[in-house]
């Protein structure tokens, strides 16, 4: 068979990514050969995949998570088009893993036919190799200003004749209006592919919700395939940092007597914010994203995360007073960690004729290094050690590299080639490697060292926390929720038979496109 389904949403962050992953895990458990697909993703949270030519390429981190739900290694075709916003007006275009252009809204229209062709071809290939492909839309299919060139929502569904379910987040309010309005704004051919709905993040008595579900069916002629409950444990591998609340996850009670408080600066163009999720899996570690200088002063460990616009975000740090708070934190002898773009900010200077094109700008001068940006992008998986022989795995995505450094500077990590990476100077630590803290031994060592530097003598890491196991538990929970709360027989009929015939047209509808 070559079945398929599109998971669309009433809004961004409605639950498309987690529902797609949950359906993938449910099908994988049934022995179905299933793969995920997102034609175009706009996110600065990406994962590195080794392509068929042996080179590293990027896809959205959510699609890497969905691949894991399918029991698969990530594939560049799972997310053929990735847009990485560098500002409000421009994004880097990553096509089948490779950065090929930087576009604005105007130039995107010119490039869009090539992107659509690539996305359609990738989906066609996957459908010949897998029994089922579960596709995820982007934003909302009712963004009618973008419908003419759409190839990720109803444009994709129309092209591949995919039955489509629409998920809405009831926790935001207005879920029935948004579901009805989503359908009613589509033209007749698009509406014919909308099979029904899923409600996400419900808390309370389902009996109180049922009259609304019945009325939604009456006015749309389409069923609700189920209601997913609110689940506090679903927070790993977020599609975008906007999905985070102030505190990541549900911090477990400390293994020792002290908590370790970690403040992560929410940069305007934060990238790979998922790096700090691994820290938040440890008992007694409270990780929060913040833009408040006062919260840095109260933290034990401060983290400067990755950035898609390092120079611009460094200027923002200075404008907001956060740079002074970072410097005061380090001057007080408390630990500081910079990751990728955050690491680059810690040096003496950044020379950037590429990303910002601002030339040379001063860094925070906390590490004796200088960073130079290269038009060629480093995208690769990395393997090495830390603190002697602790194994570390990670990945790199950056234009900037260390072009000058004090030769006596201690590296934080050592690559498999024996070359040092990153830096440690007193309380200041930095690395270009993303994902390094998913390596359990390295994470435990670093948190123990951070606690020592912060004076948290009662903090003790748990001896058995496994990040990989935590991710698997999250994926299994998604699969459980699909099995327990959705009409899986109905979903299977859609996957196997395609769009249901005879669904009614809901006026007013958009003009036929």
Does the structure show a pLDDT above 60 at 221?
yes
The residue-averaged pLDDT of 466-494 equals: 94
User: Among residues of the chain, what percentage have pLDDT more than 70?
Assistant: 97
Cα gap 398→476, rounded to integer Å: 33
262: left (phi over 0), alpha (psi -120 to 50) or beta: beta
Provide the pLDDT for residue 243. 46
- 359: number of Cβ within 10 Å: 10
Same domain? For 267 and 121 the reply is no
Is residue 288 located within the same domain as residue 361?
Answer: yes
Arithmetic mean of pLDDT, 407-417 = 93
pLDDT of residue 240: 54
**The predicted structure's pLDDT at residue 345:** 97
* Average pLDDT of the chain, as a whole number: 92
Higher-pLDDT residue of 108, 462: 462
Do 337 and 376 lie in one domain? The reply is yes
In the predicted structure, residue 238 carries a pLDDT above the cut 70: no
Q: How far apart are CA 23 and CA 4, in angstroms?
A: 11
| Entry pTM | 0.91
On whether residue 252 sits in a domain, the answer given is no
249 assigned to some structural domain: no
In a domain, 148, yes or no: yes
CATH for 305: 3.40.50.880
The tens digit of pLDDT for each residue in 5-16 reads: 999 999 888 899
Residue 251 lies in a domain: no
Residue 211 in this model has a pLDDT that exceeds 60: yes
For residue 436, give both structure tokens: 């390094």
**Span 284-303, pLDDT tens digits:** 999 999 999 999 999 999 99
Give the pLDDT mean for 485-504: 95
**Greatest extent of the chain over all pairs of C-alpha atoms, in Å:** 73
Residue 506 lies in a domain: no
| pLDDT reading at 171 higher than 90 | no
Same domain, 454 and 477: no
pLDDT in tens, 355-368: 888 889 999 999 99
- What is the domain-level CATH number for residue 159? 3.40.50.300
Segment 197-216 shows an average pLDDT of 93
Q: According to the model, what pLDDT value does residue 217 have? A: 96
Same domain, 443 and 334: yes
480 lies in the same domain as 450? no
Residue where one domain finishes, among candidates 462, 482, 500 = 462
Do residue 105 and residue 82 come from a single domain? yes
Name the residue among 417, 399, 272 with its Cα closest to residue 339: 272
Verify that 456 and 478 share a domain, yes or no.
no
Q: How far apart are CA 476 and CA 484, in angstroms?
A: 12
Decide if pLDDT at 140 tops 70.
yes
Confirm if 84 and 271 have CB atoms less than 8 A apart: yes
Tokens of 246: 């102030």
Separation CA 110–CA 125 (nearest Å): 25
What are the catalytic residues? 340, 434
Q: Which residue has the higher pLDDT, 513 or 447?
A: 447
Residues whose CB is less than 8 angstroms from the CB of residue 328 and which lie 6 or more positions away in sequence, other chains included: 296, 297
Average pLDDT of the residues in 140-147: 89
Do residues 194 and 164 lie in contact, with contact meaning Cβ atoms separated by under 8 Å? yes
Answer whether residue 373 shows pLDDT above 60. Answer: yes
Residue at 504 is within a domain: no
Same domain, 58 and 187: yes
Domain range for 128 is: 3-234+472-492
Check pLDDT > 70 for residue 244: no
pLDDT of 314 > 70? The answer is yes
pLDDT level of residue 153 (50, 70, 90 thresholds): very high
Reported for 390-393, long-range contacts at CB under 8 A and 24+ positions apart, including other chains, are 390/439, 390/441, 390/442, 390/445, 391/439, 391/441, 391/442, 392/433, 392/436, 392/439, 392/442, 393/435, 393/436, 393/438, 393/439
CA dihedral for 491, 497, 501, 505, sign (positive or negative): positive
Whether pLDDT at 326 is above 50: yes
> In the prediction, which pLDDT does 1 show?
63
CA dihedral of 69, 70, 75, 76, whole degrees rounded to 10 = -60
d(CA 447, CA 461): 7
- Shared-domain flag, residues 313 and 438: yes
Which of 85-94, 244-253, 309-318, 476-485 is predicted least confidently? 244-253
Can you tell me the mean pLDDT for 276-286? 93
Query: For the chain, what is the radius of gyration of the CA atoms?
Result: 23
| Percent of the chain whose pLDDT exceeds 90 | 75
Instruction: Give the count of domains, the chain.
Output: 2
Average pLDDT rounded to a whole number, residues 478-495: 96
Say whether both 147 and 282 belong to one domain. no
269, part of any domain: yes
Q: Is residue 271 part of a domain?
A: yes
Same domain, 81 and 163: yes
Average pLDDT (495-513) is: 89
């Amino acid at each position: 068979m070559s079945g398929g389904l599109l998971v669309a949403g009433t809004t961004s962050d409605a639950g498309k990514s987690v529902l797609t992953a949950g359906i993938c895990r449910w099908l994988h458990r049934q022995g179905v050969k299933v793969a995920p697909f997102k034609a175009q993703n706009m996110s600065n949270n990406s994962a590195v995949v080794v392509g068929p030519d042996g080179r590293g390429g990027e896809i959205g981190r959510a699609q890497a998570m969905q691949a894991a739900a399918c029991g698969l290694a990530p594939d560049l075709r799972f997310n053929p088009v990735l847009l990485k916003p560098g500002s409000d007006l421009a994004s880097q275009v990553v096509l089948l893993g490779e950065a090929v252009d930087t576009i604005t809204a105007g130039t995107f229209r010119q490039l869009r036919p090539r992107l659509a062709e690539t996305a359609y071809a990738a989906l066609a290939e996957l459908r010949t190799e897998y029994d089922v492909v579960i596709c995820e839309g982007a934003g909302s299919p009712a963004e009618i200003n973008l419908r003419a060139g759409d190839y990720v929502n109803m444009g994709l569904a129309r092209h591949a004749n995919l039955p489509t379910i629409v998920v809405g987040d009831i926790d935001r309010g207005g879920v029935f209006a948004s579901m009805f309005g989503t359908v009613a704004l589509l033209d007749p051919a698009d509406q014919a592919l909308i099979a029904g709905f899923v409600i996400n993040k419900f808390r309370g008595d389902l009996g109180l919700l049922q009259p609304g579900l019945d009325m939604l069916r009456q006015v749309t002629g389409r069923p609700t395939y189920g209601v997913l409950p609110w689940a506090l444990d679903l927070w790993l591998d977020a599609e975008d940092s906007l999905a985070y609340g102030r505190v990541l996850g549900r911090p477990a009670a400390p293994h020792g007597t002290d908590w370790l408080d970690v403040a992560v600066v929410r940069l305007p163009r934060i990238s790979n914010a998922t790096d700090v999720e691994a820290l938040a899996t440890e008992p007694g570690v409270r990780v929060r994203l913040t833009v408040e200088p006062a919260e840095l002063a109260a933290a034990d460990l401060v983290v400067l995360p990755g950035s898609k616009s390092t120079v611009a975000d460094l200027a923002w740090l200075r404008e907001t007073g956060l740079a002074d708070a970072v410097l005061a934190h380090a001057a007080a002898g408390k630990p500081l960690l910079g990751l990728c773009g955050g690491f680059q900010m810690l040096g003496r200077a950044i020379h950037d004729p590429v990303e910002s094109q601002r030339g040379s700008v001063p860094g925070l001068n906390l590490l004796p290094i200088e960073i130079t940006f290269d038009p060629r992008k480093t995208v690769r998986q990395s393997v090495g050690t830390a603190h002697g022989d602790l194994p570390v795995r990670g990945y790199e995505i950056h234009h900037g590299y260390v072009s000058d450094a004090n030769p006596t500077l201690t590296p934080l990590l050592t690559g498999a080639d024996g070359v040092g990476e990153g830096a440690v100077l007193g309380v200041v630590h930095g690395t270009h490697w993303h994902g390094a803290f998913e390596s359990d031994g390295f994470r435990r060592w670093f948190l123990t060292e951070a606690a020592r530097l912060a004076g948290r003598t009662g903090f003790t890491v748990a001896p058995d926390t496994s990040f990989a196991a935590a991710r698997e538990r999250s994926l299994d929970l998604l699969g459980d929720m699909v099995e327990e709360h959705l009409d899986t027989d109905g979903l299977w009929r859609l996957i196997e038979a395609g769009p249901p015939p005879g669904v009614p047209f809901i006026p007013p509808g958009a003009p036929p496109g």
